[in-house]
Structure 1
Amino acid sequence: MTADATAPVAKPTVPAEEFAERRRRAAAAARARGLAGLLVCSRGGGTLDRYADVLYLTNFYTHFPFIPDFEGNWSARAHTFLILPVDEVPELVIDVPDDGRIRLADGRVTYSDFVLDDAVKALKTAGLGSARIGLVGGDVLTFTMLNKLRVALPELVIEPADDLLMGLRSIKSPAEIALLRRASAIGSRMIEAMMDAAVTGASHGDVVAAGLNYLVPAGGMLYNSFMASGRGGDPSRFAKSNFPTWGSDKRLADGDWIRLGISGAVDGYVFDLARSKAVGPVTNRQVELFESAIASIEATLAAIRPGATAGDLGAAGLDKQKSMGFAVDGVFSAMGHGIGLGWDDPWLARGVATPIVPNMVLSVERTIMQDGYLGDYEESVLITPDGYERLTDATTRFW
């Protein structure tokens, strides 16, 4: 089937009052932990890398690319700080002008070239200069930035607090579910366009270009396209590239398989799905791998029921894979993860005790390899009170 980028897709939005409620709940969680407030840091830079926390709380994203600090000229470009005291007015420090999307009616917005310096000032203004606070997004701070923060505020006590916000983000509101439903629909059409383009003689780049021709007009942004092709047997053939992931110079040929694992975002909300198919006539051995990946996902989904944990789901899928004779020896030992404004909790892995509850959105994924053959499949689902609803609706089988 051919995707139509001109087809209208309703565009949901998150109301301003929801952002205020998120901040209220985040501040309450900080207070319950004995913290005086939160310092929330995100990085944008025109990519999809670690923008989620500030966007979740304020609807702000910076498109400025990351550049090293230049003393006397700028600091922390591509970074954004939300200072969220438990009892005072919040302040958002940004490095590009507000385009009208910020939702912070109860707080202040400071636009500055010196983002880190003004974040320090905001902490002092909020009475947090020597307080005990939680840091959300510490992994996006450079060592230099963290050092400057400690030098400027030597009495400030900082504790990791990513789990507070991740707990809030793991349960989606009706508006977020609508945004994830739309993102999954666009991702589904994108991967179908890519599968249509995966024909004899095409390159991996040709396949990605076909998907982008749908995604870009639809207002989406590509995070990555994990691509591989090849053929099984002896000798086997395997074609992939790491940088970019669609950079292989091998062209598809009859007898190959190809797998596509794509992720991206629409209005910040992530789609994440995978499919496999044969190039040219399909063989029984190819189908065995394709169907085994699907069966592992279906076993995981079958484990979704009231009272189930993330560990139950992970074990169900991995046990199914082993029961079909495929070793669990890949680099990714989970059966999936939550999605929202990025990769959310929980991870579907053995031993994870997090309950699976309504209004979580999960991406369930599995790649299976054997003897040079590969099957890959991923679906996104909304957890409902009595089970789940599929959000991805891309064609399942291309054979």
Structure 2
Amino acid sequence: MLHFEREEFETRLANARAAMRREGLDALLLFAQESMYYLTGYDTSGFVFFQCAIMTANDEPLTLLTRRPDLEQARRTSTMEDIRLWYDAPGMDPSRELMAILEEKGLKGARVGIEMRTFGLTADNYELVRRRLSNWCELVDASNLVRQLRAVKSPAEIAYVRRAAELADASLVAMLEASRPGAFEGEIAAAGAVPILAGGGDPAPSGPVLGSGDRALLVRSATGFRTLDPVDQLTIEHAGSYRRYCACLMRTISIGRANPVQQTMFDVTLEAITAMTEAARPGNTIGAIDDAHRAVYDRAGYGHARMSACGYSLGATYRPSWMDVPPMIYSGNEMAIVPGMILFLHAILIDAPQNLAMSLGYTILTRDGPAEVLSKVKPEYVVRT
């Protein structure tokens, strides 16, 4: 069930261990499900419980500590062979099993990194680990070690992102076709799900963010689908997902008839995202993308309605988010742009006093020279009647 060649996993592990040695780490406690998928192929939703993979800076095989329901999951989807189990019981504390594994590996007194910035490690579980290992080893935050490696994609990963972008395009076309006065938002969302699933993709790890009327101004998903009015607006933000890799799109369209104010908002928004795309090239920083975004909107008098960030990195992610950060795209972010990054650029205007929204977003691949927009659906002001 591996979705990459073993040689690719071996290269990723070697790069991670080299990074560990540069940071002076003897071991790394992997709690991020994305890290485990990246390094070994391990694919599960069981990260919502206590689960940790232990990687040493030498070539010793990784050891996974997980629950019994994930035993076969780990055996059949990953390169890991040393799988240890903890069992549910009153007062169970899996940090005991974790410490036993570390002791077995001779890590007492060692410098051990831990992934803290992840949905795979809740505060209570972190406290178990911290208290257990206090005065036993030096525990340091290494949340971004594997994450930084994942920010630049291999050719095999880019191929999956391209497929995700194709699925996102098909999904957007289906939702636009289903959008009309009197349409039910739930039916629009359902129409968008079919091309992704029928095309061999995965349910996205978040969204879709889909809302009309007042809900068109929301940039997060919210419960309570409604029926579109005869004259309305509709914001759609969604992701195509393939082998866990995501490609996102965002649009705001008019329903029933064109709105001249929104047409103007669209024109400025298209100018903004075009400038952002031009800025997303090697030689610039991530922050330069947002500088371009701010310059267009502020010059046009929309500074009050724009966001303070304009996108983020994408990759292979798990619920609850398709955002694969860092990096976030905000002014002042000094991270260098290099070829092989997958970034979701979004230009969003929320004019609350007028109850109007206008959003435009797509996924790009950075490369030498100008970035490649992966979506083939032309950005345009859409009116559905």
TM-score by shorter chain over 0.5: yes
**Pick from 214, 223, 238: which aligns with 2:195?**
214
1:325 aligns with 2:305: no
Relative to structure 1, the CA distance from residue 267 to residue 352 in structure 2 (aligned partners, 3 Å threshold; closer, same or farther) is same
Contact 1:180 1:271 (C-alpha < 8 Å) held by counterparts: yes
Q: Which amino acid aligns with 1:348?
A: I
**Structure 1 residue 138: deviation in Å?**
4.6
**Pick from 152, 155, 167: which aligns with 2:132?**
152
For 2:195, what is the secondary structure of its paired residue? helix
Higher relative strand content: 1
Any idea what the Cα deviations from partners look like across 1:12-32, whole Å, max 9, x if unmatched?
A: 942122112111111111111
**Structure 1 residue 227: deviation in Å?**
2.3
| RMSD (Å) for aligned C-alpha atoms | 2.5
Aligned counterpart, 1:128: 107
**Pick from 48, 53, 58: which aligns with 1:82?**
53
Structure 2 distance, partners of 1:380, 1:272, is 6
Map 1:40-79 to 2 at 5 A. Answer: 40-42=30-32, 51-64=33-46, 66=48, 77=49, 79=50
TM-score (norm 1): 0.83
Structure 1 distance, partners of 2:244, 2:255, is 33
List alignment gaps of at least 5 residues for structure 2: 89-93, 318-323
Contact 1:194 1:207 (C-alpha < 8 Å) held by counterparts: yes
Higher relative helix content: 2
Structure 2 distance, partners of 1:156, 1:116, is 14
Structure 1 moving runs of 4+ over 3 Å:
111-118, 137-140, 237-244
For 2:20, what is the secondary structure of its paired residue? helix
Any idea what the Cα deviations from partners look like across 1:311-368, whole Å, max 9, x if unmatched?
A: 11110011111112112455x4112111112413322211111111111111101211
Map 1:178-327 to 2 at 5 A. Answer: 178-217=159-198, 218-222=200-204, 223-230=206-213, 245=222, 247-249=224-226, 251-263=227-239, 265-327=241-303
Identity over the aligned pairs, expressed in percent?
A: 25
Relative to structure 1, the CA distance from residue 167 to residue 241 in structure 2 (aligned partners, 3 Å threshold; closer, same or farther) is closer
Any idea what the Cα deviations from partners look like across 1:67-107, whole Å, max 9, x if unmatched?
A: xxxxxxxxxx3x43110111233212233123422023xx6
Map 1:98-113 to 2 at 5 A. Answer: 98-99=72-73, 100-104=76-80, 108-113=82-87
Q: How many residues align?
A: 360
Structure 2 distance, partners of 1:273, 1:111, is 40
Give the stretch that moved more between structures: 109-118 or 145-154.
109-118
Aligned counterpart, 1:338: 313
Q: Which amino acid aligns with 1:201?
A: G
TM-score (norm 2): 0.86
Structure 2 distance, partners of 1:328, 1:122, is 54
Structure 2 distance, partners of 1:82, 1:159, is 16
For 1:254, what is the secondary structure of its paired residue? coil
Contact 2:66 2:84 (C-alpha < 8 Å) held by counterparts: yes
Structure 2 distance, partners of 1:136, 1:263, is 26
For 1:148, what is the secondary structure of its paired residue? helix
Structure 1 distance, partners of 2:281, 2:242, is 29
Q: Which amino acid aligns with 2:259?
A: T
List alignment gaps of at least 5 residues for structure 1: 1-11, 43-50, 67-76, 231-236
Aligned counterpart, 1:74: none
Give the stretch that moved more between structures: 237-246 or 268-277.
237-246
